[in-house]
């Protein structure tokens, strides 16, 4: 396949929606698969709703995902790139107008002088007849003389829908046939000179030589109009692929009001862009290797094919995303993960500068198989930076409010006092020896120690965290735990 040129053309009227990200990903993958060109084009002609801050937020979302465009508008100090610009629809208005008037001159469109009142009357008549609102073609066959008599009266330009049938060979939806009689002569240029979306998108796709239009299936109802315009304008017709939408966990359209609709919500929640890309692609594509779900970005490019895109919408599954995120965290090198979590610890108020790089790397290593998201590093490691302010109540009841709890903690204290050298293997051997000598399970000593040193019942491996905490800190915390148990026993009748 040669000369692949695809685009994502979002309207900057809000954040980067998860559905838009999905469409962008499939376009990006398709371009990378066939060494093609991926284009970002901002459809910012909705002046009332478009805002530069939204454009910036949308581009930020693309950057976080690692979806870099080959051609596109200026963003973040990076100049516009590409030979088919400008890449903001609002800057292409004169081109759209010129093409509308070309259609007019070629007899493929006409001037419509209907007033708002006349158009409303047509809509009312349709409502009364329980029909969809349609333009009745009043000015379709007007003579040049009739048009001339209107003088400077404002007019819209309407496309003259041809007779016959429009057939779309959609790469996802299959063959889609539409009788052109289902469409009225639709407006392509407003009386104020602004282009309608249908004209603008076709002109932009045609002049940018887009080879494949891969977009959401909410545009499938527009596709026939667009094909008619492509043909009327004499542009090469691209291939179409209309993708199903992303549904929320309830099986409904993923509302913009839901947390997670904004792609950057997942960044803030501690998810890796690699994991989100992996998951979102699986919402509309089935790999050839049955049962496989874990892919790197490069592996997705290698295995991607349009033929395996699905036509049915997929429901969002948070648990599956969490699982994938954990898998991608495991795939990072310890140093890569360290560099991602240290800023989160600093943001939480912990002084990581007091620790060496080797210590931070080891801390990351003992958590790497435990944390499902990057943000989980904070509750998993906070005890390394600040002394626990309290103990988990359930763990206290289970470990320290039972007969022999105080004696067991004193035994643990004596054990730790005698450990040398203070490292994982020596600590582990000492605890195993204590378990064997006492005839009690290893957990009877591990769990109380963890609670004393971290305030928690779960976390990194005990012997690893004890080594990193250091002997003096551990003994100090065990002493405080003993004092705590003594106070509890004094209060117990």
Please tell me the distance from the alpha carbon of residue 408 to that of residue 463, in angstroms, as a whole number.
18
User: DSSP 3-state assignment of 67?
Assistant: coil
Task: Give the torsion sign (CA, 329, 335, 340, 346).
Answer: positive
- What DSSP string runs through 82-108? SSS---BGGGGHHHHHHHHHHHHHTTS
DSSP annotation of 368: T
Please tell me the distance from the alpha carbon of residue 122 to that of residue 120, in angstroms, as a whole number.
5
Please tell me the distance from the alpha carbon of residue 5 to that of residue 205, in angstroms, as a whole number.
10
Place of tokens 């891969």: 214
Place of tokens 């994938």: 324
Residue 64 CB-half CA count within 13 A: 23
Measured from the Cβ of residue 346, the count of other Cβ atoms closer than 10 Å reads 12
Indicate if 33 belongs to the active site.
Answer: no
Return contacts of 32-36, CB within 8 angstroms, 24+ apart.
32/301, 33/301, 33/302, 33/304, 33/305, 34/1, 34/2, 34/4, 35/4, 36/1, 36/3, 36/4, 36/5, 36/6, 36/211
From residue 470, alpha-carbon distances to 154, 445, 446, 476 in Å are 82, 18, 16, 10
Annotated catalytic residue within 252, 256, 315, 347:
256
* Alpha helix (H) residue ranges in 161-296: 197-207, 220-233, 263-268, 273-282
Q: Which residues are catalytic?
A: 256
């Amino acid at each position: 396949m040669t000369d692949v040129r695809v685009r994502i053309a979002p309207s900057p009227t809000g954040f980067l929606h998860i559905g838009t990200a999905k469409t962008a990903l499939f376009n990006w993958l398709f371009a990378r698969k066939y060494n093609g060109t991926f284009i970002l084009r901002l459809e910012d002609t909705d002046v009332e709703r478009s805002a530069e801050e939204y454009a910036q937020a949308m581009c930020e979302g693309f950057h976080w995902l690692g979806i870099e465009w080959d051609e596109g508008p200026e963003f973040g100090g990076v100049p516009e790139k590409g030979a088919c610009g400008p890449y903001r629809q609002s800057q292409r208005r004169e081109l759209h107008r010129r093409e509308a008037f070309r259609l007019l001159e070629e007899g493929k469109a006409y001037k419509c002088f209907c007033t708002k009142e006349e158009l409303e009357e047509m809509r009312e008549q349709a409502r009364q007849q329980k029909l969809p609102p349609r333009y009745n073609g009043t000015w379709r066959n007007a003579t040049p003389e009739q048009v001339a008599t209107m003088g400077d009266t404002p007019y819209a330009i309407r496309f003259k829908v041809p007779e016959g049938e429009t057939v779309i060979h959609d790469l996802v939806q299959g063959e889609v046939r539409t009788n052109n009689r289902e469409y009225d002569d639709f407006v392509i240029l407003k009386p104020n000179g602004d282009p309608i979306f249908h004209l603008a998108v076709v002109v932009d796709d045609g002049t940018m030589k887009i080879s494949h239009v891969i977009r959401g299936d909410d545009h499938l109802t527009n596709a026939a109009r667009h094909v008619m315009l492509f043909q009327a304008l004499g542009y090469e017709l691209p291939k179409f692929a209309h993708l199903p939408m992303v549904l929320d966990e309830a099986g409904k359209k993923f509302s913009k009001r839901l947390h997670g609709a904004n792609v950057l919500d997942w960044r803030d929640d501690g998810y890796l862009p690699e994991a989100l890309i992996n998951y979102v692609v699986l919402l509309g594509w089935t790999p050839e290797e049955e049962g496989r779900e874990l892919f790197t970005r490069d592996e997705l490019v290698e295995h991607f094919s349009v033929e395996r895109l699905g036509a049915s919408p997929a429901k969002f599954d948070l648990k599956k995303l969490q699982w994938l995120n954990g898998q991608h965290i495991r795939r990072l090198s310890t140093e890569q993960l360290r560099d991602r979590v240290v800023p989160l610890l600093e943001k939480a108020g912990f002084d990581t500068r007091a620790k060496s790089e080797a210590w931070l790397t080891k801390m990351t290593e003992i958590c790497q198989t435990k944390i499902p998201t990057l943000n989980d590093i904070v509750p998993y490691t906070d005890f390394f930076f600040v002394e626990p302010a309290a103990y988990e109540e359930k763990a206290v009841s289970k470990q320290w409010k039972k007969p022999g709890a105080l004696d067991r903690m004193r035994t643990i204290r004596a054990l730790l006092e005698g450990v040398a050298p203070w490292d994982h293997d020596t600590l582990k051997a000492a605890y195993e020896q204590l378990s064997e000598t006492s005839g009690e399970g290893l957990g009877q000593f591990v769990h109380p120690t963890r609670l004393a040193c971290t305030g928690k019942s779960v976390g990194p491996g005990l012997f690893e965290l004890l080594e990193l905490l250091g002997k003096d800190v551990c003994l100090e915390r065990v002493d405080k735990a003993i004092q705590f148990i003594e106070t509890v026993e004094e209060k117990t009748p």
